[in-house]
Amino acid sequence: MAPASTPTRRRRAEGSGQDDRLNWAHFREAALGGKDARAVERELVAKLEKEFPEQRRMFRRIEAGQAQAVARLARDARLRQWIHCGPGYPMTAAAEDTHELVLPRHPRRKVLYVTDDQVIAAHSRALRKVGEPDQIRVISADLGQPEEIRRHPEIDGWLDWSQPIVLLHGDAWIHYAGTGEQAAGIMQRWVDQLVNGSYTVSTHLLRPDDETASRRAAVLTERLEGTPVDTLQFRTREEIAALFPKQEMPAGLSHDLDTRLRRGPSVQSMLDAWVVDGVGHVTESVAPEPASHWIGTDEASRITGYTKRQLASLARKGLVPSSRDPRGRYEFDPDELLELVASWKQLAAQNLKPPAPLPQPAPAPTVDRA
């Protein structure tokens, strides 16, 4: 991600089509053992592993931490729009892609991938495919220009900026080449595009206090000096907090990683201390408050034919998108709910088993013939 109008070593010449220079996305792909890594990245990773064998686990921890944050937010059916900035190559070894985590059973959700790397954009368009039409789009754009991304012709009218959006930056700030003030300024401009109820998610390297960990961090940054990926950033808690403007962070910066999301060898405790995940809830946006069109179980029962008890059961099992109001009662998106039920009826009409029993028609009223 480049500061506004400021080129970095990650940028290729305009119109070159190919980029045979090393950049962070390619380096990350090699460190994760991805199939799209090239010889130049594999050589640098192999060289670094001699002195810093933790690097592969560090990248796995970064991706798995982001996957955990995304999976938790995906439980909220109100969050129907997701923007992933700087996603890297699709389907790396450490975790699922964002759309794999958020789209199942949500036919109206959308995921936008934004990258400034033309090669990754091409890979993404080819490989990030799902059965549902037009739920995923990929655009090439400067990640530091949120206003231009919002006006991008390929997403004009596709995203609804008056509704909440989950904004993912992944590890983008870990390798950002600009200053902390520039990074905070970009995030301020991004948050100004979002309405209250939106979220931002990003992973960071926390500057270690422990002497041993500090020495190991110094080894890594020193070995990267002079290479095209020498922009590794360790930040203080205050510097990381500045990347979450106008937001509340109830969980703070999280070191914890669900053991079910750990892949491969366990991450060493030192890396757990380095890598932190942040999830911010936008609460002070200047944008107008989003309008709600969600309905309760009474109305949902009327339009679908399910009883309120059946709807609650489907919601608990995750078979229908739902949310909870402040009193804990289920709420549903009527359009998405009707679309799901219609798709289940189509399966049944083709003698295929739908994911859930279909609503039964109400019994005809009895007539007293006496």
Torsion of CA 211, 217, 221, 224, to 10 degrees: 140
The rounded Cα 11 to chain-centroid distance in angstroms is: 23
Residue 113 resides in a domain: yes
Cβ proximity of 190 and 146 under 8 Å: yes
Helices (H), 74-210: 98-102, 118-127, 146-150, 180-191
**Residue 56: what residue type?**
R
Cβ proximity of 243 and 202 under 8 Å: yes
Residue 288 resides in a domain: no
Residue 354 resides in a domain: no
Compute the distance between CA of residue 139 and CA of residue 125 in angstroms, rounded to an integer: 9
pLDDT for position 226: 75
Say yes or no: 312 and 182 in one domain.
Answer: no
Say yes or no: 193 and 337 in one domain.
Answer: no
* 342: CATH: 1.10.1660.10
Which of 250, 255, 145 shows the shortest CA–CA distance to 203? 255
Say yes or no: 91 and 220 in one domain.
Answer: yes
- Helix (H/G/I), strand (E/B), else coil: 290: coil
How many domains, in total, are found in the chain?
A: 2
Say yes or no: 267 and 301 in one domain.
Answer: no
Any idea which residue has 């289940």 for tokens? 344
Cβ proximity of 10 and 2 under 8 Å: yes
Say yes or no: 238 and 316 in one domain.
Answer: no
Say yes or no: 308 and 275 in one domain.
Answer: no
Task: Write out the two tokens for 297.
Answer: 């179980």
Compute the distance between CA of residue 210 and CA of residue 32 in angstroms, rounded to an integer: 27
Q: Could you list the residue range(s) of the whole structural domain that residue 58 is in?
A: 24-282
pLDDT for position 152: 95
Residue 11 resides in a domain: no
Task: Write out the two tokens for 325.
Answer: 């109001």
Q: What pTM, to 2 d.p., does this model score?
A: 0.75
Among 282, 303, 318, the domain-final residue is 282
Residue 14 resides in a domain: no
Per-residue pLDDT of the chain (370 residues), as tens digits, is: 544 433 333 333 223 234 455 677 778 888 887 777 788 888 888 888 887 777 788 888 888 888 899 999 998 888 999 999 988 766 554 457 888 899 887 878 999 999 887 777 777 777 666 445 688 999 999 999 999 999 999 999 999 999 999 999 988 898 888 888 999 999 999 999 999 999 999 999 988 887 877 888 888 888 887 776 777 888 989 999 999 999 999 888 877 665 444 444 444 556 667 888 999 999 998 877 777 778 899 999 998 999 999 999 998 888 888 888 878 889 988 888 888 888 888 888 888 888 888 887 655 455 555 4
* 117: CATH: 3.40.50.150
Residue 8 resides in a domain: no
Say yes or no: 300 and 266 in one domain.
Answer: no
Torsion of CA 304, 308, 314, 320, to 10 degrees: 50
Cβ proximity of 295 and 334 under 8 Å: yes
